[in-house]
Amino acid sequence: MTEPNQETDTTTSEHPFQAEVNQVLDIVINSLYSHREVFLRELISNSADALDKIRFQAVTDESLLGSEKDLEIQLVPDKSAGTLTIIDTGIGMTRDEVIQNLGTIAHSGSKGFLAALKEKEQGGESVDLIGQFGVGFYASFLVADKVLVRTLAAGDDQTAWRWESEAKGTFHVEPAPEWTTRGTEVKLFLKDDQKDVLEEYQIRQLVQRYSDFVSWPILLEVEREEGEDDDKKTVKKDERINNASALWRRPRREITDEEYEEFYKHVSRDREPPLDTIHFTIEGTTSYTGLIYLPKKAPFDLFDQDKKRGVRLYVKRVMIMEDCEDLVPEYLRFLRGVIDSDDLPLNVSRELLQEDRIVRSIKKTIVTKTLGALEFMAKERADDYAAFWDGFGVVLKEGLHFDFENKETLAKLVRYRSSKSDFTSLTDYVDRMSEDQDTIYYAIGQNRQTVEGSPHIEALKKKDIEVLYMTDPIDEWAVQGLDEFDGKKLASAMKSDLDLDKDRTDEQKAEDDANQERLEDLSERAQKVLEDRVSEVRVSRRLDESPCCLVVPDGGVHAHIERMLRAQGQDLPAQKRILELNPTHPVIERLHLLNANPSESDKVENWFELLYDQALLAEGSPIADPPRFAKRMSDLMTQALESEEEA
């Protein structure tokens, strides 16, 4: 956006909207027209937030309230002018704030969102995505072709500002000396076909449906006839049209599903209903009320580091903080809602919150209640839980690593794909285990396909032992926090310490030892050839159909994760892996013979290079020198074809 120069700073100025705003306006006008009623909710929501803010600031500085002590929202329909005006006595905006707030989009990640939207739109699915994106103030243009804002910020600067736009790419800002009360007025010049929203019953209905939970009075200017027969006159007066008590403080049985839902939309800026609602009151040494929601879909910026997270913190019904991070652990960052404490001081600072005993105790309750609700959902509403997992499973898994205290509960909540199921819990895995199996096996890779086809799990599959497929980047760390479940160890099928011995008969074990001895020379040779990449070569027990595979040494990271960390720019020391050979595979048998024949043993070198690359490909890793690999392949094919011809 081009900033106006100093000269125009305090006078009239014209500004272009930020490009993203134009896109949002486009969506509003072209895709959301069938949801026009949301405009009022969005504007009332903004007013309620502005009132929350002034009330909070007035806690420390009462003088900010000035003569405007009534904190409320007023709706004024004017049929003759064709306007609907929403006025609040909230915090107001300075000139800079007006330009910033009503000319740009502050939500981080909005660019990415809009790009995704464009892509989807071409596939005709836009409305679904828009649901995640609060269009806020810009929803005014659903019903209005011109919007006028007048606002005066709380504080010393007593200049009021007027903002005006017809949503045609620009907006206009100038001083508004005639506006002398603190707060903001939004005047909507209604489109010709939208004037029905001026009807009293329409406004009442919209407020009741979408904004009844707002804890500030919403007043509607109505016309009433007063006096007796001859003396009748029409007077205008304000009637309160909402309940105006904090929703979370009302008894649960008195709150309807719709009210819970609308309040969720207010605090989350999500337009879809929540997946679950947790409403609780704790009374005792510390008292507080919580109204916590689980969203249905992951927001597009779930992994955005800068995104504000956390729930709203109120102290005795005064909003202290919109995004209180200290109340929810990182792995539950998708939670939305409100905590209202009776005991915290009203002037509590962010720094103090971090160390506060009460905050810690509230956080603990939020975690316990949320995990409890998820356990219940997993049992009773399997489809909902699957949907939850789809959106937030990756985030919840972080808890396995970081939340030692709740590890056991979290372990019951995680789900994986496996060689036997598309969606399994560890409990179900254990139920399917045979009696002599004492370990839960897993394999880590980029996606189901590569893990499923990876050589490492061949022997397990052959024995009909289930393998969990861990394909989320977080899995490597998450599973480290989980070395055991229900008394069963968890082990990676890709790590060197995989102990399959216990499943082998004495006869098999003797055979293994014999193989190890027989292939001693060959292993040594391979080790020499691949010295710079491989720390050890040994005979394998985990292979069935493949000639070899690469396994992770004790304490090492899986190849897929190693690659990812490097891609993120982390400087990792090169990790050498262990090459395991399948003693019964014909390729290994032949190589063994070739190696024993001094005149041919040079070829062995080439074969091992090829085998090494092939092991990488089989597990889904890239190879270092594809042209060389291709050359070796074609040489090999030539040889094979020639010998076929000879035969």
Please give the residue ranges that form the binding site for ligand ADP (CB under 6 A).
Answer: 42, 46-47, 50, 88, 90-93, 101-102, 134, 136-138, 184, 269
* Cβ-based nearer residue to ligand ADP, 108 or 421: 108
Strand runs (DSSP E) across 419-483, as ranges?
424-425, 439-444, 467-470
Nearest distance, CB of residue 164 and ligand ADP, angstroms: 15
CA atoms within 13 A on the CB side of 131: 13
* Cβ-based nearer residue to ligand ADP, 47 or 419: 47
* Cβ-based nearer residue to ligand ADP, 48 or 616: 48
Nearest distance, CB of residue 135 and ligand ADP, angstroms: 7
* Cβ-based nearer residue to ligand ADP, 44 or 367: 44
Using CB atoms within 10 Å of the CB of residue 35, give its burial: 0 to 12 exposed, 13 to 18 middle, 19+ buried.
middle
Nearest distance, CB of residue 53 and ligand ADP, angstroms: 8
Q: Which residue is nearest to ligand ADP (CB)?
A: 136
* Cβ-based nearer residue to ligand ADP, 20 or 605: 20
- The amino acid at residue 319 is M
What is the separation of C-alpha 23 from the centre of its chain, rounded to a whole number of angstroms?
Answer: 23
* Cβ-based nearer residue to ligand ADP, 138 or 260: 138
- The amino acid at residue 600 is E
Nearest distance, CB of residue 109 and ligand ADP, angstroms: 13
Neighbours of 258 (CB within 10 A): 14
At residue 43, the 3 state secondary structure works out as helix
214 backbone dihedrals φ, ψ, rounded to 5°: -55, 130
Strands 415-418 and 336-341: unpaired
DSSP assignment string, 527-589: HHHTTTTEEEEEE-SS-SSSSEEEEBPTTPPPHHHHHHHHHTT--PPPPPEEEEE-TTSHHHH
**Contact by Cβ (8 Å): 160, 177:** yes
**Contact by Cβ (8 Å): 541, 512:** yes
Nearest distance, CB of residue 90 and ligand ADP, angstroms: 5
Round to whole Å and give the CA distance between 301 and 113: 8
Round to whole Å and give the CA distance between 348 and 321: 10
- Hey, CA dihedral for 397, 400, 406, 407, is it positive or negative? positive
Nearest distance, CB of residue 126 and ligand ADP, angstroms: 19
* 92 dihedral zone (left: phi>0; alpha: psi -120 to 50; beta): left
Nearest distance, CB of residue 146 and ligand ADP, angstroms: 17
Round to whole Å and give the CA distance between 16 and 254: 47
Nearest distance, CB of residue 136 and ligand ADP, angstroms: 2
Say how many residues make up the chain. Answer: 647
Nearest distance, CB of residue 329 and ligand ADP, angstroms: 25
- Residue 253 has what DSSP assignment? G
* Cβ-based nearer residue to ligand ADP, 156 or 351: 156
Enumerate the β-bridge partners of residue 13: 173
* Cβ-based nearer residue to ligand ADP, 107 or 525: 107
* Cβ-based nearer residue to ligand ADP, 134 or 274: 134
Nearest distance, CB of residue 348 and ligand ADP, angstroms: 22
Strand runs (DSSP E) across 182-310, as ranges?
183-190, 218-226, 233-240, 276-282, 288-294
Nearest distance, CB of residue 154 and ligand ADP, angstroms: 10
* Cβ-based nearer residue to ligand ADP, 149 or 591: 149
No. of H helices and E strands in the chain? 21, 23
Nearest distance, CB of residue 88 and ligand ADP, angstroms: 5
Round to whole Å and give the CA distance between 299 and 309: 11
Nearest distance, CB of residue 3 and ligand ADP, angstroms: 18
CA end-to-end distance (rounded Å), the chain: 77
Nearest distance, CB of residue 94 and ligand ADP, angstroms: 10
Closest residue by Cα to residue 129 from 103, 101, 110: 110
Q: Which two tokens stand for residue 614?
A: 């092939």
* Cβ-based nearer residue to ligand ADP, 185 or 613: 185
Round to whole Å and give the CA distance between 184 and 181: 8
**Contact by Cβ (8 Å): 139, 186:** no
Q: Which two tokens stand for residue 277?
A: 């609602």
* Cβ-based nearer residue to ligand ADP, 93 or 275: 93
Nearest distance, CB of residue 185 and ligand ADP, angstroms: 8
* Cβ-based nearer residue to ligand ADP, 136 or 290: 136
* Cβ-based nearer residue to ligand ADP, 134 or 455: 134
**Contact by Cβ (8 Å): 540, 583:** yes
Angle at which helix 257-268 crosses helix 38-60, to 10 degrees, equals: 70
* Cβ-based nearer residue to ligand ADP, 102 or 143: 102
Neighbours of 412 (CB within 10 A): 16
